Amino acid sequence: MTPRFRLFLPALLVLLLVMGGEALARDMATDPERLLPVELATVGVDAGSGTPIALLRHPTSGEVVPIVIGTDQARAILLAMHDITLSRPQTHDLMIDLLEQMDARLERVIIDGLENGTYLGWLEVRIAGEAEPRLIDTRPSDGLALAVRSGAAIHVAPEILEADVAFDYTPPGEDEVVTALGITVVEARNDLREALQLPDESGVLVSRAAGRAAAAGLTHGALILKVNGRTPTTPMDFLEAISATPEGEPAEIRYWLDGETRSITLPTDVPEIEESDDALTV
Protein backbone atom coordinates (compact mmCIF):
# COMPACT_ATOMS: atom_id res chain seq x y z
CA MET A 1 0.00 0.00 0.00
CA THR A 2 1.48 3.34 -1.02
CA PRO A 3 1.93 6.16 1.54
CA ARG A 4 -0.60 8.21 -0.42
CA PHE A 5 -3.25 5.49 -0.17
CA ARG A 6 -2.51 4.97 3.54
CA LEU A 7 -3.15 8.68 4.04
CA PHE A 8 -6.52 8.43 2.31
CA LEU A 9 -7.66 5.19 3.94
CA PRO A 10 -9.11 6.50 7.26
CA ALA A 11 -11.16 9.18 5.52
CA LEU A 12 -12.18 6.71 2.81
CA LEU A 13 -13.51 4.27 5.40
CA VAL A 14 -15.52 7.02 7.08
CA LEU A 15 -17.01 8.04 3.75
CA LEU A 16 -17.90 4.45 2.91
CA LEU A 17 -19.65 4.01 6.25
CA VAL A 18 -21.63 7.21 5.81
CA MET A 19 -22.65 6.35 2.26
CA GLY A 20 -23.41 2.77 3.14
CA GLY A 21 -26.18 3.64 5.60
CA GLU A 22 -29.58 2.22 4.65
CA ALA A 23 -31.51 5.23 5.97
CA LEU A 24 -31.03 8.86 5.12
CA ALA A 25 -30.30 11.21 8.01
CA ARG A 26 -33.36 13.27 7.04
CA ASP A 27 -35.98 13.55 4.33
CA MET A 28 -35.49 15.89 1.41
CA ALA A 29 -37.20 19.17 2.21
CA THR A 30 -38.74 19.52 -1.26
CA ASP A 31 -40.02 17.41 -4.12
CA PRO A 32 -36.97 16.51 -6.25
CA GLU A 33 -39.03 17.22 -9.38
CA ARG A 34 -39.25 20.88 -8.35
CA LEU A 35 -35.49 21.47 -8.17
CA LEU A 36 -34.12 24.20 -10.43
CA PRO A 37 -30.62 24.46 -11.97
CA VAL A 38 -28.43 27.40 -10.98
CA GLU A 39 -24.85 28.46 -11.65
CA LEU A 40 -22.31 29.36 -8.96
CA ALA A 41 -21.35 32.89 -9.96
CA THR A 42 -18.96 34.12 -7.29
CA VAL A 43 -18.22 34.46 -3.59
CA GLY A 44 -17.75 37.56 -1.50
CA VAL A 45 -18.86 39.15 1.75
CA ASP A 46 -22.18 40.60 2.83
CA ALA A 47 -21.13 44.12 3.84
CA GLY A 48 -23.93 44.38 6.38
CA SER A 49 -23.09 41.27 8.40
CA GLY A 50 -19.49 40.56 7.37
CA THR A 51 -20.57 37.01 6.50
CA PRO A 52 -19.10 35.20 3.47
CA ILE A 53 -21.71 34.50 0.80
CA ALA A 54 -21.90 32.62 -2.47
CA LEU A 55 -24.00 34.09 -5.27
CA LEU A 56 -26.07 31.72 -7.42
CA ARG A 57 -27.44 32.77 -10.83
CA HIS A 58 -30.83 31.51 -11.93
CA PRO A 59 -30.84 31.36 -15.75
CA THR A 60 -34.55 31.94 -16.39
CA SER A 61 -35.29 34.86 -14.08
CA GLY A 62 -31.77 36.30 -14.17
CA GLU A 63 -31.94 36.61 -10.40
CA VAL A 64 -28.79 36.31 -8.31
CA VAL A 65 -29.40 34.90 -4.83
CA PRO A 66 -27.02 34.67 -1.85
CA ILE A 67 -26.18 31.56 0.14
CA VAL A 68 -24.38 32.05 3.45
CA ILE A 69 -21.17 29.99 3.55
CA GLY A 70 -18.22 29.52 5.88
CA THR A 71 -14.89 31.30 5.62
CA ASP A 72 -13.00 28.10 4.79
CA GLN A 73 -15.49 27.19 2.07
CA ALA A 74 -15.33 30.69 0.59
CA ARG A 75 -11.55 30.40 0.39
CA ALA A 76 -11.80 26.93 -1.16
CA ILE A 77 -14.23 28.17 -3.81
CA LEU A 78 -12.05 31.18 -4.64
CA LEU A 79 -8.97 28.99 -5.02
CA ALA A 80 -10.84 26.70 -7.40
CA MET A 81 -12.30 29.57 -9.43
CA HIS A 82 -8.82 31.07 -9.77
CA ASP A 83 -7.38 27.62 -10.68
CA ILE A 84 -4.88 27.83 -7.84
CA THR A 85 -3.48 24.49 -6.69
CA LEU A 86 -1.76 24.39 -3.31
CA SER A 87 1.23 22.17 -2.60
CA ARG A 88 -0.81 19.89 -0.35
CA PRO A 89 -4.42 18.77 -0.93
CA GLN A 90 -7.06 20.69 1.00
CA THR A 91 -10.21 19.12 2.44
CA HIS A 92 -12.34 19.47 -0.68
CA ASP A 93 -9.52 18.30 -2.94
CA LEU A 94 -9.23 15.25 -0.69
CA MET A 95 -12.94 14.51 -1.02
CA ILE A 96 -12.75 14.62 -4.82
CA ASP A 97 -9.74 12.28 -4.70
CA LEU A 98 -11.67 9.93 -2.42
CA LEU A 99 -14.57 9.76 -4.84
CA GLU A 100 -12.17 8.95 -7.67
CA GLN A 101 -10.57 6.19 -5.57
CA MET A 102 -14.08 4.72 -5.11
CA ASP A 103 -14.84 4.90 -8.85
CA ALA A 104 -17.57 7.38 -8.00
CA ARG A 105 -18.46 10.86 -9.13
CA LEU A 106 -20.38 13.79 -7.73
CA GLU A 107 -23.31 14.32 -10.11
CA ARG A 108 -25.24 17.03 -8.36
CA VAL A 109 -25.24 19.36 -5.36
CA ILE A 110 -28.74 20.04 -4.06
CA ILE A 111 -29.83 22.90 -1.80
CA ASP A 112 -33.28 21.76 -0.79
CA GLY A 113 -34.35 23.99 2.07
CA LEU A 114 -33.81 26.87 4.47
CA GLU A 115 -34.77 26.23 8.09
CA ASN A 116 -34.27 28.79 10.87
CA GLY A 117 -31.63 30.58 8.83
CA THR A 118 -29.73 27.37 8.02
CA TYR A 119 -29.45 26.08 4.46
CA LEU A 120 -29.89 22.34 3.89
CA GLY A 121 -28.14 20.34 1.21
CA TRP A 122 -27.36 16.98 -0.35
CA LEU A 123 -24.56 15.48 -2.40
CA GLU A 124 -25.86 13.20 -5.16
CA VAL A 125 -23.09 10.67 -5.77
CA ARG A 126 -23.04 8.07 -8.54
CA ILE A 127 -21.04 4.91 -7.77
CA ALA A 128 -19.99 2.63 -10.61
CA GLY A 129 -22.18 -0.47 -10.84
CA GLU A 130 -25.08 0.97 -8.83
CA ALA A 131 -28.37 1.70 -10.56
CA GLU A 132 -29.32 4.69 -8.42
CA PRO A 133 -27.21 7.55 -7.06
CA ARG A 134 -26.73 7.91 -3.32
CA LEU A 135 -27.69 11.01 -1.35
CA ILE A 136 -25.39 12.33 1.38
CA ASP A 137 -26.56 15.07 3.75
CA THR A 138 -24.17 18.02 3.52
CA ARG A 139 -23.71 21.67 4.30
CA PRO A 140 -24.42 23.53 1.06
CA SER A 141 -21.19 25.49 1.45
CA ASP A 142 -19.15 22.27 1.31
CA GLY A 143 -21.27 21.06 -1.58
CA LEU A 144 -20.59 24.24 -3.55
CA ALA A 145 -16.85 23.93 -2.90
CA LEU A 146 -16.99 20.39 -4.29
CA ALA A 147 -19.14 21.39 -7.26
CA VAL A 148 -16.75 24.08 -8.44
CA ARG A 149 -13.92 21.50 -8.42
CA SER A 150 -15.81 18.67 -10.10
CA GLY A 151 -18.15 20.45 -12.49
CA ALA A 152 -21.16 18.90 -10.75
CA ALA A 153 -24.57 20.45 -11.40
CA ILE A 154 -26.14 22.64 -8.71
CA HIS A 155 -29.91 22.46 -8.17
CA VAL A 156 -31.95 24.41 -5.62
CA ALA A 157 -35.50 24.35 -4.30
CA PRO A 158 -37.75 27.15 -5.63
CA GLU A 159 -38.09 28.41 -2.07
CA ILE A 160 -34.37 29.26 -2.05
CA LEU A 161 -34.84 31.56 -5.02
CA GLU A 162 -37.99 33.04 -3.52
CA ALA A 163 -36.54 33.64 -0.04
CA ASP A 164 -35.71 37.28 -0.90
CA VAL A 165 -32.71 37.39 1.44
CA ALA A 166 -31.33 40.94 1.57
CA PHE A 167 -27.59 41.28 0.98
CA ASP A 168 -24.98 43.88 0.13
CA TYR A 169 -22.30 42.11 -1.90
CA THR A 170 -18.68 43.17 -1.45
CA PRO A 171 -15.97 41.49 -3.55
CA PRO A 172 -13.11 39.66 -1.80
CA GLY A 173 -10.46 42.36 -2.15
CA GLU A 174 -8.63 42.31 -5.46
CA ASP A 175 -9.51 38.66 -6.04
CA GLU A 176 -12.96 39.21 -7.55
CA VAL A 177 -13.81 36.42 -9.94
CA VAL A 178 -17.17 35.67 -11.56
CA THR A 179 -18.54 32.80 -13.63
CA ALA A 180 -21.59 33.02 -15.89
CA LEU A 181 -22.50 30.88 -18.91
CA GLY A 182 -19.39 28.81 -18.22
CA ILE A 183 -17.20 31.90 -18.67
CA THR A 184 -14.96 32.85 -15.75
CA VAL A 185 -13.71 36.43 -15.75
CA VAL A 186 -11.38 38.54 -13.62
CA GLU A 187 -10.34 42.16 -13.64
CA ALA A 188 -8.12 43.09 -16.60
CA ARG A 189 -5.30 44.47 -14.44
CA ASN A 190 -2.51 46.50 -16.01
CA ASP A 191 0.07 43.75 -15.47
CA LEU A 192 -2.19 41.22 -17.21
CA ARG A 193 -2.90 43.64 -20.04
CA GLU A 194 0.82 44.08 -20.60
CA ALA A 195 1.64 40.37 -20.35
CA LEU A 196 -1.17 39.38 -22.74
CA GLN A 197 -0.77 42.44 -25.00
CA LEU A 198 -4.43 43.33 -24.62
CA PRO A 199 -5.87 46.35 -26.42
CA ASP A 200 -6.43 49.63 -24.60
CA GLU A 201 -10.18 49.07 -24.28
CA SER A 202 -12.40 48.57 -21.25
CA GLY A 203 -13.49 45.04 -20.49
CA VAL A 204 -12.93 41.98 -18.33
CA LEU A 205 -10.42 39.19 -18.85
CA VAL A 206 -11.47 35.59 -19.47
CA SER A 207 -9.52 33.22 -17.22
CA ARG A 208 -11.47 30.10 -18.24
CA ALA A 209 -14.13 29.15 -20.76
CA ALA A 210 -16.10 25.91 -20.76
CA GLY A 211 -19.22 24.38 -22.27
CA ARG A 212 -20.86 26.19 -25.16
CA ALA A 213 -18.64 29.26 -24.72
CA ALA A 214 -15.51 27.20 -25.33
CA ALA A 215 -17.16 25.37 -28.24
CA ALA A 216 -17.92 28.76 -29.81
CA GLY A 217 -14.24 29.71 -29.73
CA LEU A 218 -13.98 31.75 -26.53
CA THR A 219 -10.88 30.89 -24.53
CA HIS A 220 -8.68 32.17 -21.72
CA GLY A 221 -6.83 35.39 -22.51
CA ALA A 222 -9.81 36.92 -24.32
CA LEU A 223 -10.94 40.41 -23.34
CA ILE A 224 -14.73 40.70 -23.19
CA LEU A 225 -15.65 44.13 -24.55
CA LYS A 226 -19.46 44.07 -24.64
CA VAL A 227 -22.33 42.00 -23.25
CA ASN A 228 -25.63 42.86 -24.90
CA GLY A 229 -24.12 46.19 -25.90
CA ARG A 230 -22.96 46.97 -22.37
CA THR A 231 -19.27 47.35 -21.45
CA PRO A 232 -18.37 45.33 -18.33
CA THR A 233 -15.58 47.04 -16.40
CA THR A 234 -15.62 44.64 -13.43
CA PRO A 235 -16.48 40.95 -13.05
CA MET A 236 -19.73 41.90 -11.30
CA ASP A 237 -20.61 44.15 -14.25
CA PHE A 238 -20.26 41.06 -16.43
CA LEU A 239 -22.59 39.05 -14.18
CA GLU A 240 -25.17 41.83 -14.07
CA ALA A 241 -25.10 42.22 -17.86
CA ILE A 242 -25.62 38.48 -18.35
CA SER A 243 -28.42 38.44 -15.77
CA ALA A 244 -30.14 41.34 -17.54
CA THR A 245 -30.51 39.33 -20.76
CA PRO A 246 -34.25 39.21 -21.58
CA GLU A 247 -35.83 35.86 -20.80
CA GLY A 248 -35.78 33.52 -23.77
CA GLU A 249 -33.13 35.50 -25.63
CA PRO A 250 -29.42 34.67 -25.99
CA ALA A 251 -26.64 36.81 -24.59
CA GLU A 252 -24.55 38.61 -27.21
CA ILE A 253 -20.88 38.78 -26.32
CA ARG A 254 -18.22 40.73 -28.21
CA TYR A 255 -14.60 40.05 -27.32
CA TRP A 256 -11.01 40.58 -28.44
CA LEU A 257 -8.69 37.61 -28.94
CA ASP A 258 -5.39 37.27 -30.80
CA GLY A 259 -5.68 40.67 -32.42
CA GLU A 260 -9.25 40.20 -33.66
CA THR A 261 -12.64 41.34 -32.43
CA ARG A 262 -15.21 38.56 -32.51
CA SER A 263 -18.82 38.00 -31.46
CA ILE A 264 -20.78 35.02 -30.18
CA THR A 265 -24.31 34.44 -28.89
CA LEU A 266 -24.96 32.04 -26.03
CA PRO A 267 -28.14 30.76 -24.37
CA THR A 268 -28.42 31.85 -20.76
CA ASP A 269 -29.28 28.44 -19.31
CA VAL A 270 -26.80 26.73 -17.01
CA PRO A 271 -24.15 25.05 -19.19
CA GLU A 272 -22.94 21.51 -18.73
CA ILE A 273 -19.33 21.81 -17.63
CA GLU A 274 -16.64 19.19 -18.02
CA GLU A 275 -13.25 19.38 -16.35
CA SER A 276 -10.76 21.25 -18.51
CA ASP A 277 -7.15 22.39 -18.42
CA ASP A 278 -8.05 25.46 -20.49
CA ALA A 279 -7.44 28.05 -17.81
CA LEU A 280 -5.38 31.15 -17.16
CA THR A 281 -3.97 31.29 -13.63
CA VAL A 282 -4.04 34.89 -12.43
Residues 266-278, mean pLDDT to the nearest whole number:
69
pLDDT of residue 24: 56
Q: Do 161 and 212 fall into the same domain?
A: no
In a domain, 91, yes or no: yes
Q: Do 125 and 253 fall into the same domain?
A: no
Task: Confirm if 55 and 41 have CB atoms less than 8 A apart.
Answer: yes
User: Is residue 157's pLDDT more than 90?
Assistant: yes
- With a pLDDT cut of 90, the percent of the chain lying above it is 51
The number of folded domains in the chain is: 2
Tell me the CATH number at 254. Answer: 2.30.42.60
Least confident of 20-29, 31-40, 260-269: 20-29
In a domain, 104, yes or no: yes
What is the tens place of the pLDDT at every residue in 79-94? 888 877 666 667 777 7
Give 198 or 15, the one with higher predicted confidence.
Answer: 198
Taking alpha carbons only, the member of 139, 88, 75 closest to residue 111 is 139
Q: Which domain holds residue 222?
A: 177-266
Q: What's the CA gap between 32 and 168, in Å, rounded?
A: 31
Q: What's the CA gap between 236 and 211, in Å, rounded?
A: 21
Confidence of residue 9 (pLDDT cuts 50, 70, 90): very low
Rounded to the nearest integer, the mean pLDDT of the chain is 85
Give 92 or 45, the one with higher predicted confidence.
Answer: 45
Q: Do 19 and 106 fall into the same domain?
A: yes
Phi-psi label, residue 83: left if phi above 0, alpha if psi -120 to 50, beta otherwise? left
In a domain, 10, yes or no: yes
Q: Do 143 and 214 fall into the same domain?
A: no
In a domain, 209, yes or no: yes
Tell me the CATH number at 70. Answer: 3.10.690.10
In a domain, 275, yes or no: no
Q: Do 106 and 208 fall into the same domain?
A: no
In a domain, 197, yes or no: yes
In a domain, 172, yes or no: no
Q: Do 191 and 233 fall into the same domain?
A: yes
Residues 138-150, mean pLDDT to the nearest whole number:
91
User: Is residue 23's pLDDT more than 70?
Assistant: no
Is the pTM of the predicted complex or chain greater than 0.85?
Answer: no
Task: Confirm if 160 and 114 have CB atoms less than 8 A apart.
Answer: yes
DSSP string, the chain: --HHHHHHHHHHHHHHHHHT-SS-SS--SS-GGG-EEEEEEEEEEETTT--EEEEEE-TTT--EEEEE--HHHHHHHHHHHTT---SS--HHHHHHHHHHHTTEEEEEEEEEEEETTEEEEEEEEEETT-SS-EEEEE-HHHHHHHHHHHT-EEEE-HHHHHS-----EE--TT--EEEETTEEEEE--HHHHHHHT--SS--EEEEEE-HHHHHTT--TT-EEEEETTB---SHHHHHHHHHTSPTTSPEEEEEEETTEEEEEEE--SPPP------B---
Q: Do 161 and 181 fall into the same domain?
A: no
What is the tens place of the pLDDT at every residue in 191-207? 999 999 999 999 999 99
Q: Do 149 and 257 fall into the same domain?
A: no
Q: What's the CA gap between 245 and 254, in Å, rounded?
A: 14
Q: Do 133 and 232 fall into the same domain?
A: no
Give 162 or 260, the one with higher predicted confidence.
Answer: 260
Q: Do 162 and 187 fall into the same domain?
A: no
In a domain, 248, yes or no: yes
Q: Do 197 and 223 fall into the same domain?
A: yes
Taking alpha carbons only, the member of 256, 251, 249 closest to residue 218 is 256
